[in-house]
Chains A and B, each alone.
Chain A
Amino acid sequence: MSSFWNLIRNENMKIYRRLRTWVMFAFTVFVPLATSLLLYLADGKEGTLDSWSVTFIEGEILFLLINIFTVVKAAESVAGEFSWGTIKLLLIRPWSRSSILLSKYISIFLFALLMAIVAFAVSMAVNIPMFGTIDLPKALEYYGLHLIGLVFVAAFAFMLSSAFRSNGLAIGLSIFLLMASVTRLFDVLFGMTDKPWVKYVGFLHLNLVNYLEGGAGPIPNQETTLGFSIAVLAAYVIVFNIVSWTVFRKRDVAA
């Protein structure tokens, strides 16, 4: 019996030994470089832009990308094994299905974290020389808030991937959710009511960035705290995971 770490190494190998993964990383490097350069040229001599606002603009683009990349990888991690047929060889090893799913979970979150770190590093490396110093704790908090939302989206993608074993459906629905959140579609919809239950709708809490600088939170017409938002998101993530785990453990591998 070998250690659980070996399972994570396997999942990492399946993530990083693919060219497309490096294309994703290339994007997370290219986007902040290009954005900063563009804004620097557009800003001209006056220099009205500061480091924080540039980092914020870049962060919004970057996290949209990182979310999408994570969804793609999370969906592929489970559904891919089914469509490649490798699930048959993967599940007949002396490991429980729960361990295998957990290793996939961990490797995907490591992947998302790594991309966020790369994005942050590149962003800082170009913005500080070009636009001056930045409030580092604030920038880190901003990234942290985005990462919390990312956990929710990834858990959702994992659930769909386990439930439907379909790459396309899992990616499609997760990105729909993401887009609805980015475009504030849900906010418009739920903004029409001020019923108290609205604050328990998980998707609305994805815009945690609203809490920056003492904001009132992401729920239209209602004030919430960051702790409350995280609790709601966590509850949803737990439910998503229970569904993923149950389906993945019980499922007959037929095809």
Chain B
Amino acid sequence: MSSAPVVQLRDVTKRIGGRTIIDRISLEVYPGEVFGFLGPNGSGKTTTIRMMVGLMSMSGGDILLGGRSVKSEFSRAVSQIGAIVENPEMYKFLTGYQNLLHYARMSGVSKDRIAEVVEIVGLNGRIHDKVKKYSLGMRQRLGVAQAVMHRPKLLVLDEPTNGLDPAGIRELRDYLRRLAREEGTAVFVSSHLLSEMELMCDRVAILQKGQIIDIRSLRPEDARSSAETTEEVLFEVDRPDAALGILDGLGPGRMAGGGFTVEADRRTVAAINRRLVEAGIQVYGIRVKTKSLEDQFLEVTGSESHV
């Protein structure tokens, strides 16, 4: 993450009729990164994305795409993005190919490149059919094709998994990750589906009532960088009650299914293990109980909001 950010939001604010919808949001997204934008419905995710792509005006602050301001250099800024905003709406009376041609003409994309993206999204057989005959999954793929056709530095997706079946979601997720890894494309994706985001994103920002309340990494290596960090560790043992009795000094343990859990750092984990083995207690497994994104999300947003 040493390179220059692809997206910079600087104190972005949106007021509609005296109400502040988005309140001084700032964040940065880097090349090759899949960045998740999480928040309950109505928290302002879509509004923020619409401001990023120039569909809505900002009341304050600015958004830079590749260093270009969406406000003052719209064409140059927006030429670097590809987007699927909510459902991929297409001209249903045109064929898939004509739809792509339409957007290709606007960005100066060659016909060879159109053929290439059609291949990538696997629509070769049906590209000359009218879009009205497409299934939702096929429309979604066409949406991806129009979004990546001009090789954008940033791909913006608003609730991309809406209406997709599990296979389609998986396909989209794999494709986005590959794009980020292989082409260094930054991906900015909004969703309220936490489990999805967990699988897809490197970092997430959590938005609530128009404010960012947390930005965190989901990469385990970042979170577990220090040996001093304590985490909740689950020990699977044959006699948990006996095990809890000999823990003294190494921390209060709690009974859990098939064993006990304890808050411990790496060194303590090793010490506990040695003590258990010496006491003749069978240790079947030791693992860190990672908090799911959902737990983390509820932790920061509080219980009043449900997603």
Contact = CB atoms under 8 A, between A and B. Distances in A.
Contacts of A254: 50, 56
Q: Which 5 A-B pairs have the closest CB atoms?
A: A85-B89, A94-B79, A6-B105, A253-B55, A2-B108
Contacts of B55: 88, 91-92, 252-253
B77 to A, nearest CB: 9
Contacts of A7: 105-106
Contacts of B92: 84
A13 B89 contact: no
Nearest to B52: A92
Interface in B66-91: 74-76, 78-79, 81, 83, 85-91
A14 B75 CA distance: 23
Contact of B74 (A13, A84, A96): A96
Interface residues on B, range: 20 to 34
SS of A interface (majority): loop
B57 A1 contact: no
Interface residues on A, range: 20 to 34
B81 to A, nearest CB: 7
Most buried by A among B75, B86, B87, B92: B75
Given A88-B89, A252-B55, 15 more contacts: A2-B105, A6-B105, A6-B106, A14-B91, A85-B87, A88-B55, A88-B85, A89-B85, A89-B88, A89-B90, A91-B54, A93-B106, A94-B78, A252-B57, A253-B56
B46 to A, nearest CB: 9
Contacts of A95: 75, 106
Contacts of B83: 88-89, 92
A18 interface: yes
Contact of B94 (A13, A85, A89, A252): A13
A2 B106 contact: yes
B93 interface: yes
A17 B93 contact: yes
B44 to A, nearest CB: 12
A96 B90 CA distance: 20
B53 interface: yes
Interface string A66-95: 000000000000000000111011011111
A10 interface: yes
B50 A253 contact: yes
B190 interface: no
Given A2-B105, A250-B57, A253-B50, A92 B89 contact: no
B107 interface: yes
A9 interface: yes
B98 interface: yes
A96 B77 CA distance: 12
Nearest to A5: B105
A84 B56 contact: no
A178 to B, nearest CB: 26
B185 interface: no
A220 B150 CA distance: 59
A24 to B, nearest CB: 15
Contacts of B50: 252-254
Interface in B22-77: 50, 53-57, 74-76
Contacts of B74: 94, 96
16 contacts: A2-B107, A13-B102, A17-B94, A18-B93, A84-B89, A85-B86, A86-B91, A88-B55, A88-B83, A88-B89, A92-B83, A93-B107, A94-B75, A95-B75, A96-B75, A253-B56
B89 A14 contact: no
Contacts of A252: 50, 55-57
